[in-house]
Amino acid sequence: LGGLLFFWLLEKAELYRHAHHHEGDGHHHHDEFDAEQAGRGGYSVLLGDSIHNFCDGIIIAAAFLADHRLGMVTALAIVAHEIPQEVGDYIVLLNAGLSRARALAFNALSGLAAVLGGVVGYFVVGPWQEYFPYLLVVASSSFIYVAVADLLPQLQQRLTLKETLSQVAWLVLGLGLVVAATRWIPGH
């Protein structure tokens, strides 16, 4: 619960900062494409994604240190999450004016932050194995927060029958993967 509240407060702080930054800033907001603003957004995405990937690396290292099967499941879950995110980041970088080659190179470079996070996680988090349950709870709560805050409201929208059946199928597949994964972890 503490982890969920922490991530909720982080999001509230970011929303407040974003709203406060744009209130009465003297700029006229148009629906036109602003290349300069888009360019700054591209580099913000790279910075944010690098931090995100670094944290993913720490989480993967901690999971492997706890149990190799938990590490595999965690790594697979993060890879499944990262693929669409990296495609989105690539598109943002293209819209920011980067060439395809530069966008791909910067996106790949950002992905290497996960490797750095894994190394840091292994050497820094490793000696703190007694705190692993707490670290894993915080990591898990970040994923749960995203699901509760971002995904569930989207699932409540009115959809066609075909879209609803697709959502249900993906949900059942996800639950099946969780059940299969927990069978690999000792004590479950």
Kindly indicate the confidence band of residue 23, based on its pLDDT and cuts at 50, 70 and 90. very low
Cα 142 to Cα 7: distance, rounded to the nearest angstrom: 7
Contacts of 26 (CB under 8 A, 6+ apart): none
What share of the chain has pLDDT > 90, as a percent?
18
Predicted TM-score of the model (pTM): 0.64
CA distance 63 to 103: 31
Q: Output 144 or 29, whichever has higher pLDDT.
A: 144
Closest by CA position to 33, among listed 79, 75, 86, 96? 96
Taking alpha carbons only, the member of 51, 46, 50, 60 closest to residue 119 is 60
CA torsion through residues 125, 1, 187, 63, sign: negative
